[in-house]
């Protein structure tokens, strides 16, 4: 399918005063609501005229701007105005060519390389599209150039770009030198740390056509550049905005100036002394804006980390050293990193901890299961007491509130106030020191993926006594009873004693849940979909009804119930009863019931970024394929090719047809389970690692870093 270019969309919206829905940003992002129009300081402008006579002073100005702003403009930089003009007219002429001509340089969708002509296809944060088309190609060093991505038309294109690259190199070398000198380092320290003469220069042309509603759309969503530094040539239409003191302010257009962005790699090598700048681009109602950023980035294999000269006891390394390609991979191979990725990292330095033990007192009523109460051994030797008992935590370091509001005042010496809200809207109480929510940008993230949400978790250990041939799976046998008897046929023995192959103590909290349920090995071939919901919200119910009229299903909850009443799961699947003598609660056999179906319908109450709740994870754990309606960025949280995202279909009929086809195609269906066999987890491992199960340690770590009561 051909991608629709923004340039084409812009010609049809020209005479209108609306834009397609997918370009309308949330209120948090809309430039009309978030641009600061009051008096604001200008981005620093640095004059490089006669700079060789005044190196110390220029180094100081550049260092100050890079620390305070992460961005500055330079004038009298030595690139002749004519060279820049030729670069600009060649680029502009290319974008004004007929569409077929531009499409010759289009990047194929499966092409991993970033070079080529294109439109940002994937929906970004908040699930919206950017109002821009672009062209990417390398311009330096010559060995990195791939001329197939360089337009043949206009004929002046190649010379204009080669000429610009040659001049630009001198400017970049000079800037990297000043950045080093500004930190009291040898002049070549930073350049060496980001790849020296292998530093790759990637040119991007951003083409932002006129937009009838510039107050609602964005040309480029907020991000920092992943490069070492970026040198940008703008045209005369203003549009670059940067964050300064929490406000979006405009970068002034200065004829012939170059705009220099500090990118993530310089932030890293400077160990945070220089900051990469958070910026975005807005668009114009009547005029086309074009910009020519050149991202100067390390070669992919280069390991980038804080310069050893800048690391000592008082300034521990704030960043891990990583190959640049791994850094890019983590930021999803785009040249821009949205500072908020979907999942929080849990890998900070141990030296950042200020306390060895932290106690958390959970206050008032909360949704947190009681069985989270425990004494935890965390990373870096930190211990963490998590309890609802004020007797056990008589001098807590932090108080955790969920459904109640923390005290409005906190004196030094009082415990910190943590506040948790896992509901879709995630409202802060306004009185907390630490905010816990499901979003990566909250102080502590808590996803719904852990086993504690799932109560009864299962494991399966083979009792089969047959021999094992080379190539067969290993046989693990577990006996946690006092006598610890081996089966005699296992390859790995799990017991409670240190001398067993794998020790499993009784100390974990998971052990104290209701244990063991059964998962069906067979799937129902006639009834395809499992559905259970007892809060019949109108929108969700409608959606479910529309889909389920097209597919055979069983609905066990109150909504659309078709199995003859409530609590029928055990009736239908008696093997799900663990203990026939006890009266189980619905969640005791939830996974077991689901496991009889190929598909489980999971619809979130609220559909916003990162709000992926236990409904989805229950289905995955039960060995079903979820049909999911919810967070637009759900793919960040689940194994690759493991769910059907219902929102990606153009109609319910199309979705139902897809599900039916899949049910009848064993190979295609098996592909949805490939991740389990092949261990291709994507982010899923991390999603689980960042769940409620590990919340105690992660919260305690944050408390310890802050210094607890002394902070």
Lookup result for tokens 């103590």: 505
Whether residue 619 contacts residue 600, with contact meaning beta carbons closer than 8 Å, is answered with yes
Residue 451 binding ligand AKG, by CB under 6 A: no
Residue 206 binding ligand AKG, by CB under 6 A: yes
Nearer to Fe ion, 333 or 566 (CB): 333
End-to-end CA distance of the chain: 56
Q: How many CA atoms lie within 13 A of 618 on its CB side?
A: 24
Residue 244 binding ligand AKG, by CB under 6 A: no
Whether residue 153 contacts residue 240, with contact meaning beta carbons closer than 8 Å, is answered with no
Among 281, 416, 478, 700, binds ligand AKG (CB under 6 A): 281
Active site residues: 204, 223, 225, 279
Question: With CB under 6 A, what is the number of residues at the site for ligand AKG?
Answer: 13
Region for residue 340 given its phi and psi (left: phi exceeds 0; alpha: psi -120 to 50; beta: otherwise): beta
Q: How many CA atoms lie within 13 A of 470 on its CB side?
A: 0
Candidates 184-192, 232-240, 395-403, 584-592 — which segment interacts with ligand AKG by CB under 6 A? 232-240
Q: Which does 696 bind (CB under 5 to 8 A by kind): Fe ion, ligand AKG, none?
A: none
- The three-state DSSP-derived secondary structure of 362-399 is ECCCCCCCHHHCEEEECHHHCEEEEECCCCCCCCCCEE
Nearer to Fe ion, 175 or 422 (CB): 175
How many Cβ atoms are within 10 Å of 320's Cβ, its own excluded?
15
Residue 291 binding ligand AKG, by CB under 6 A: yes
Residue 120 binding ligand AKG, by CB under 6 A: no
Candidates 233-241, 388-396, 410-418, 697-705 — which segment interacts with ligand AKG by CB under 6 A? 233-241
Q: Which does 281 bind (CB under 5 to 8 A by kind): ligand AKG, Fe ion, none?
A: ligand AKG
Whether residue 216 contacts residue 17, with contact meaning beta carbons closer than 8 Å, is answered with no
From CA 283, how far away is CA 216, in angstroms rounded? 10
Interaction with ligand AKG in 176-205: which residues (CB under 6 A)?
Answer: 204
User: What's the min distance (Å) between Cβ of 214 and Fe ion?
Assistant: 18
| Cα Dmax for the chain | 90
Candidates 150-158, 163-171, 234-242, 600-608 — which segment interacts with ligand AKG by CB under 6 A? 234-242
User: What's the min distance (Å) between Cβ of 248 and ligand AKG?
Assistant: 13
User: What's the min distance (Å) between Cβ of 339 and Fe ion?
Assistant: 12
How many Cβ atoms are within 10 Å of 658's Cβ, its own excluded?
16
Tokens representing 543?
Answer: 């959606």
Whether residue 294 contacts residue 231, with contact meaning beta carbons closer than 8 Å, is answered with yes
Share of the chain residues as helix, strand and coil, in percent rounded to the nearest 5: 30, 20, 50
Closest residue to Fe ion, Cβ-based?
A: 225
Nearer to ligand AKG, 338 or 541 (CB): 338
Q: Which does 206 bind (CB under 5 to 8 A by kind): Fe ion, ligand AKG, none?
A: ligand AKG
Among 19, 135, 220, 663, binds ligand AKG (CB under 6 A): 220
Q: Which does 240 bind (CB under 5 to 8 A by kind): Fe ion, ligand AKG, none?
A: ligand AKG
User: What's the min distance (Å) between Cβ of 134 and ligand AKG?
Assistant: 7
Residue 129 binding ligand AKG, by CB under 6 A: no
Residue 279 binding ligand AKG, by CB under 6 A: yes
Candidates 231-239, 507-515, 587-595, 660-668 — which segment interacts with ligand AKG by CB under 6 A? 231-239
Among 240, 399, 608, 655, binds ligand AKG (CB under 6 A): 240
Q: Which does 306 bind (CB under 5 to 8 A by kind): ligand AKG, Fe ion, none?
A: none
User: What's the min distance (Å) between Cβ of 218 and ligand AKG?
Assistant: 11
Nearer to Fe ion, 260 or 399 (CB): 260
Whether residue 331 contacts residue 263, with contact meaning beta carbons closer than 8 Å, is answered with no
Nearer to Fe ion, 225 or 614 (CB): 225
User: What's the min distance (Å) between Cβ of 253 and Fe ion?
Assistant: 17
329 backbone dihedrals φ, ψ, rounded to 5°? -60, -45
Q: Which does 204 bind (CB under 5 to 8 A by kind): ligand AKG, Fe ion, none?
A: ligand AKG
Q: Which does 291 bind (CB under 5 to 8 A by kind): Fe ion, ligand AKG, none?
A: ligand AKG
Residue 128 binding ligand AKG, by CB under 6 A: no
User: What's the min distance (Å) between Cβ of 290 and ligand AKG?
Assistant: 8
Residue 222 binding ligand AKG, by CB under 6 A: no
Nearer to ligand AKG, 185 or 259 (CB): 259
Residue 275 binding ligand AKG, by CB under 6 A: no
Per-position b or e across 221-260, b if 16+ CB within 10 A of its CB? bbbbbbbbbbbbbbbebbbbbbbbeeebbbbeeeeebbbb
Tokens representing 635?
Answer: 């793919």
User: What's the min distance (Å) between Cβ of 48 and ligand AKG?
Assistant: 21
Nearer to Fe ion, 234 or 396 (CB): 234
Q: Which does 642 bind (CB under 5 to 8 A by kind): Fe ion, ligand AKG, none?
A: none
How many Cβ atoms are within 10 Å of 649's Cβ, its own excluded?
17
Whether residue 232 contacts residue 267, with contact meaning beta carbons closer than 8 Å, is answered with no
Residue 293 binding ligand AKG, by CB under 6 A: yes
Q: Is the peptide bond before 154 cis (omega within 30 degrees of 0)?
A: yes
How many Cβ atoms are within 10 Å of 346's Cβ, its own excluded?
14
- DSSP element (H, E) containing 202: strand 200-208
Interaction with ligand AKG in 316-375: which residues (CB under 6 A)?
Answer: 336
Sign, CA torsion 605/608/613/618: positive
In the three-class reduction of DSSP (H, G, I as helix; E, B as strand; rest coil), residue 664 is classed as coil
Q: For 221-315, where are the alpha helices, taking DSSP H only?
A: 264-269
Q: Which does 115 bind (CB under 5 to 8 A by kind): Fe ion, ligand AKG, none?
A: none
Nearer to ligand AKG, 274 or 530 (CB): 274
Residue 225 binding ligand AKG, by CB under 6 A: yes
Residue 265 binding ligand AKG, by CB under 6 A: no
Nearer to Fe ion, 199 or 548 (CB): 199
Residues near 595 by beta carbon (within 8 Å), at least 6 away in sequence: 519, 520, 622, 623, 624
Q: How many CA atoms lie within 13 A of 300 on its CB side?
A: 10
Tokens representing 192?
Answer: 């060496």
Nearer to Fe ion, 234 or 626 (CB): 234
Nearer to ligand AKG, 181 or 281 (CB): 281
Instruction: Tell me how many degrees the CA angle 509-510-515 measures, rounded to the nearest 5.
Output: 135
User: For the packed helices 55-68 and 157-181, what is the interaxial angle rounded to 10 degrees?
Assistant: 90
Residue 288 binding ligand AKG, by CB under 6 A: no
Nearer to Fe ion, 229 or 602 (CB): 229
User: What's the min distance (Å) between Cβ of 225 and Fe ion?
Assistant: 4
How many Cβ atoms are within 10 Å of 484's Cβ, its own excluded?
15
- DSSP element (H, E) containing 435: strand 434-437
Tokens representing 268?
Answer: 């890293």
Site residues, Fe ion (CB under 5 A):
225
User: What's the min distance (Å) between Cβ of 295 and ligand AKG?
Assistant: 7
User: Rule CB under 6 A: which residues touch ligand AKG?
Assistant: 204, 206, 220, 225, 232, 234, 239-240, 279, 281, 291, 293, 336
């Amino acid at each position: 399918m051909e991608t629709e270019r923004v340039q084409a969309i812009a010609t049809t919206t020209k005479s209108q005063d609306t834009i397609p829905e997918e370009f309308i940003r949330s209120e948090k992002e809309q430039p009309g609501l978030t641009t600061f129009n009051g008096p604001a300081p200008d981005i620093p402008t640095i004059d490089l005229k006669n700079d060789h006579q005044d190196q110390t002073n220029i180094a100081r100005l550049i260092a100050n701007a890079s620390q305070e702003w992460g961005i500055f403009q330079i004038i009298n930089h030595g690139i002749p105005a004519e060279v820049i003009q030729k670069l600009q007219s060649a680029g502009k002429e290319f974008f004004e060519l007929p569409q077929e001509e531009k499409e010759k340089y289009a990047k194929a969708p499966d092409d991993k390389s970033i070079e080529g002509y294109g439109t940002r296809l994937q929906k970004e944060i908040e699930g919206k599209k950017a109002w821009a088309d672009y062209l990417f190609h390398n311009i330096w060093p010559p060995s990195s150039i791939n001329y197939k991505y360089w337009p043949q038309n206009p004929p002046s294109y190649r010379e204009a770009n080669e000429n610009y690259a040659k001049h630009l190199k001198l400017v970049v070398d000079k800037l990297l030198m000043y950045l080093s000198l500004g930190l009291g380092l040898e002049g070549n320290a930073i350049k060496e740390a980001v790849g020296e003469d292998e530093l790759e220069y990637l040119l991007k042309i951003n083409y932002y056509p006129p937009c009838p509603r510039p107050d609602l759309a964005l040309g480029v969503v907020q991000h920092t550049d992943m490069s070492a530094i970026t040198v940008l040539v703008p045209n005369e239409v203003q549009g670059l905005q940067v964050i300064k003191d929490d406000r979006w302010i405009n970068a002034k257009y200065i004829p012939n100036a170059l705009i220099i962005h500090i990118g993530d790699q310089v932030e890293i090598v400077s160990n945070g002394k220089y900051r990469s700048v958070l910026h975005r681009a807005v668009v114009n109602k009547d005029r086309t804006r074009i910009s020519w950023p050149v991202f100067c980035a390390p070669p992919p294999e280069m390991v980038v980390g804080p310069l050893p000269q800048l690391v000592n006891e008082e300034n521990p390394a704030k960043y891990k050293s990583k190959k640049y390609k791994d850094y890019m991979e983590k930021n999803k191979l785009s040249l821009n990193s949205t500072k908020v990725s979907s999942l929080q990292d849990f890998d900070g330095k141990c030296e950042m901890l200020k306390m060895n033990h932290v106690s958390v007192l959970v206050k008032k009523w909360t949704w947190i299961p009681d069985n989270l109460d425990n004494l935890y051994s965390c990373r870096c030797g930190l211990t963490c007491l998590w309890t609802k008992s004020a007797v056990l935590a008589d001098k807590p370091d932090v108080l955790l509130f969920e459904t109640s509001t923390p005290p409005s005042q906190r004196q030094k010496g009082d415990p910190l106030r943590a506040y948790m809200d896992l509901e879709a809207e995630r409202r802060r109480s306004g009185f907390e020191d630490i905010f816990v929510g499901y979003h990566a940008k909250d102080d502590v993230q808590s996803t719904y993926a852990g086993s504690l949400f799932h109560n009864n978790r299962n494991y399966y250990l083979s009792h089969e006594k047959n021999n094992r041939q080379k190539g067969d799976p290993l046989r693990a046998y577990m006996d946690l009873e006092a006598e610890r008897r081996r089966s005699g046929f296992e390859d790995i023995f799990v017991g409670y004693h240190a001398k067993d192959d794998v020790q499993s103590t009784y100390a974990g909290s998971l052990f104290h849940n209701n244990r063991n349920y059964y998962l069906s090995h067979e799937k129902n071939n006639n009834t395809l979909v499992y559905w259970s919901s007892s809060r019949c919200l109108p929108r969700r119910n409608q959606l479910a009804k529309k889909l389920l009229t097209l597919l055979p299903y069983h609905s066990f909850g109150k909504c659309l119930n078709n199995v003859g009443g409530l609590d029928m799961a055990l009736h239908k699947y008696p093997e799900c009863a663990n203990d026939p003598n006890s009266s189980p609660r619905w969640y005791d056999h939830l996974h077991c019931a689901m496991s009889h179906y190929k598909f489980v319908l999971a619809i979130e109450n609220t559909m916003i970024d990162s709000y992926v709740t236990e409904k989805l994870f229950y289905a995955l754990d039960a060995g079903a394929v979820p049909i999911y309606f919810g967070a637009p960025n759900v793919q960040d949280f689940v194994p690759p090719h493991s769910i059907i995202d219902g929102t990606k279909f153009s109609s319910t009929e199309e979705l139902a047809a897809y599900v039916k086809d899949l049910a009848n195609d064993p190979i295609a269906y098996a592909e949805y389970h490939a991740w389990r066999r092949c261990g291709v987890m994507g982010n899923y491992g991390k999603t689980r690692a960042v769940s409620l199960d590990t919340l105690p340690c992660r919260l305690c770590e944050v408390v310890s870093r802050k210094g607890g009561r002394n902070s």
